[in-house]
Amino acid sequence: MDAVFGYGSDEDNKSKSQGSLAITVQAAPDVGKADLTSETQKMVANNSKMVTYNPSYEALWTPEAGPSNPYYQNGITPGMRNTLGGFIERTNVADFHFEEQHQTFNTFGFAMDPSAANDSMFGSNIVGDRSAWNLMQGRTVHQATKRDAKKRKLDDSAAEQVLAGLGTAMTSEEAAEMAQDVKAIEEAEKAAKEAAETVKEKAEVSIFEASSIFHGKETKDYQGRTWIDAPTDIKAVEPQSYIPKVSVHTWSGHTKGVQAIRWFPKTGHLLLSASMDCKIKIWDVYNNRKTLRTYMGHQKAVRDICFSTDGRQFASVGYDKVVRYWDTETGTCLKSWRSKGIPYSVKIHPGDDNILAGSSCKNILQWDPRHPNRSSLVQEYIQHLGAVNTVTFIDGNRRVVSTADDKKLFLWEYGIGTAPMKHISEPWMHAMPAVTAAPFDNGNPKYLLCQSLDNQILCYMSGDRFKLNKKKLFVGHTIAGYACQVGVSPDLKYVLSGDGDGRLWLWDWKSAKVYRKFKVISARSRRV
């Protein structure tokens, strides 16, 4: 029976075969069930000095995290500061000490240990061959080289060997030859000294080789008056000036440019001119207007001339460094001196006839024609830092005004050249190569008109107080680079000056306005 009950029917099999199957699809990946908090770790900042927790060994040896700074310059690659040998840090080491230890290690095999530089034990801070260090006694390659060089320098064994030889004793032939050489040297020195003295004597003698030529008919007229005396038909009249319109006369006779012209004192009937042709000529003004006398005594161009108070004498200076004192009537050179430098200006003192010359040696030199020694200086004014251009007497001839290339104006006490009484130097000032004193009141000028190289004429008051008159400023012309002389009419109505283009400029004295300008000479002359 049990077998019958255990036998199943066909319906049972059919029902089983029709059963449904359930399929489960999992789309998400299997990420594990571990705790994500275990994978996080704390980062240590690269610039931190301490940590507030106990990091692991792996955390300390991880590379530096974070974005890199493109402007950060470091010789160590970012993330590679932790090396097997230790932690790399930047430090400052002098190149000399680094190279010294590097060369010492390459040469001797030892060097100083920088990590143990402050060790108290002598010799414990050595890296490398200690036996070599003991042999060198701790000296580096530089110290060893200096010591050996000093030893070689102090070693006189070679000199002792030479002195011990037979060559130290001089033979009679060698002694005679040496005596001849010494004698020849002494004779050459003596000959050179004599030649220098001869040249000096010739130069001094050549100073007095002066001459003159008289171009007139007679030196005296039938009444015994000399040719330099003023004509009797000249009358003293009140000066009244007018603006020039046409050229009245031209004096021609020089072969080169004229450097300076001076009127005869008081009367003005004669005109003295100095030229670049090394000659000085004096001209007649009122009568035939011809050359009366030519003075020849300079070997180079004549720079400046000046009459004495009465006009009987005049002084001249030239680029040959010679100062001459002439007799106007006879043409004789009374005195002559050689200057230290090139004299640029000359003046004769109205009282004692002393001659003052501004020189390129930065000094004002003073000579006395009455002094028996023709080569001695009476006084020397020393304060300027450049070549002295002008010398002018003011205040009853008791004071001297000088201008120089150092852009300064000095006021001196006549006869005292150690220190000036007044020193005028302003930042805006330029060199003043030409100065004119006018008008004269009993021989004392009231104003000084200074030609400044910044294309203007400055006016200084020379009365009780020497100062600049800012109301009198004459501008408009161009004279930069040219030492054009300033002229003033006798009645102090007009101020005139030349310029670099050969034009004549006239200003009104009171208003300082330009009256007129016109062409008078060619541009090649450059002087008026």
Do residue 337 and residue 392 come from a single domain? yes
Q: Which long-range contacts (C-beta less than 8 Å, at least 24 apart) are formed by 436-441?
A: 436/485, 436/486, 436/487, 436/488, 437/392, 437/393, 437/394, 437/462, 438/488, 438/492, 439/488, 439/490, 439/492
- pLDDT one-digit tens code per residue, 319-376: 999 999 999 999 999 988 988 899 999 999 988 889 999 999 999 999 998 887 766 7
Among 388, 411, 429, give the residue marking a domain's end: 429
Tell me the C-alpha distance between 270 and 292, whole Å: 9
Among 78, 106, 141, give the residue marking a domain's end: 141
Do residue 135 and residue 276 come from a single domain? no
Q: Which residues of 513-528 are buried (b: 16+ CB within 10 A; e: fewer)?
A: eeeebeeeeeeeebbb
Distances (CA, A) of 264 to 64, 228, 297, 307, 447: 101, 9, 21, 7, 21
Could you tell me if residue 301 is inside a domain?
Answer: yes
Average pLDDT over residues 146-157: 59
- pLDDT one-digit tens code per residue, 23-69: 666 666 665 555 555 556 677 776 777 888 888 877 777 777 666 66
Do residue 424 and residue 435 come from a single domain? no
Q: Lay out the sheet containing 494-498: strands in order across.
A: 486-488, 494-498, 503-508, 514-519
Could you tell me if residue 32 is inside a domain?
Answer: no
- pLDDT one-digit tens code per residue, 83-109: 666 666 666 778 888 888 888 888 888
* Number of domains composing the chain: 3
Least confident of 17-21, 294-298, 414-418, 520-524: 17-21
- pLDDT one-digit tens code per residue, 249-262: 888 999 998 999 99
pLDDT for the residue 286 = 86
Could you tell me if residue 399 is inside a domain?
Answer: yes
Do residue 437 and residue 388 come from a single domain? no
- pLDDT one-digit tens code per residue, 470-495: 889 999 898 888 888 999 988 888 99
**SS3 of 15, please?**
helix
CATH of the domain at 340: 2.130.10.10
Percent of the chain residues topping a pLDDT of 90: 29
Q: Which residues of 463-495 are buried (b: 16+ CB within 10 A; e: fewer)?
A: eeebebeeebebeebebeebbbbbbbbeeebbb
Average pLDDT over residues 192-204: 73
Could you tell me if residue 385 is inside a domain?
Answer: yes
Do residue 302 and residue 317 come from a single domain? yes
Average pLDDT over residues 136-159: 67
Any idea which residue has 């402050």 for tokens?
118
Do residue 442 and residue 419 come from a single domain? no
Among 429, 459, 485, give the residue marking a domain's end: 429
Do residue 502 and residue 468 come from a single domain? yes
Could you tell me if residue 357 is inside a domain?
Answer: yes
Any idea which residue has 């006395």 for tokens?
368
Do residue 341 and residue 456 come from a single domain? no
Binning pLDDT at 50, 70 and 90, where does residue 120 land?
Answer: very low
For residue 277, what are the domain limits? 268-429
pLDDT for the residue 180 = 87
Do residue 501 and residue 417 come from a single domain? no
Binning pLDDT at 50, 70 and 90, where does residue 134 land?
Answer: confident
Characterize the bridge pairing of strands 302-307 and 444-452.
unpaired
The token pair that represents 94 in the structure block: 């002098």
Do residue 405 and residue 286 come from a single domain? yes
Tell me the C-alpha distance between 155 and 291, whole Å: 85
Tell me the C-alpha distance between 325 and 328, whole Å: 9
Average pLDDT over residues 453-462: 91
pLDDT for the residue 94 = 80
Do residue 346 and residue 467 come from a single domain? no
The answer to whether residue 161 scores a pLDDT higher than 80 is no
Do residue 350 and residue 457 come from a single domain? no
CATH of the domain at 512: 2.40.128
The answer to whether residue 157 scores a pLDDT higher than 70 is no
Contact 416, 423 (CB under 8 A): no
pLDDT for the residue 291 = 92
Q: Apex CA 188: angle with CA 185 and CA 193, to 5°?
A: 125
Could you tell me if residue 3 is inside a domain?
Answer: no
Cα 70 to chain centroid, rounded: 49
Could you tell me if residue 33 is inside a domain?
Answer: no
The larger pLDDT score, comparing residue 238 to residue 377, is at 377
Q: What is the mean pLDDT of the chain?
A: 80
Could you tell me if residue 109 is inside a domain?
Answer: yes
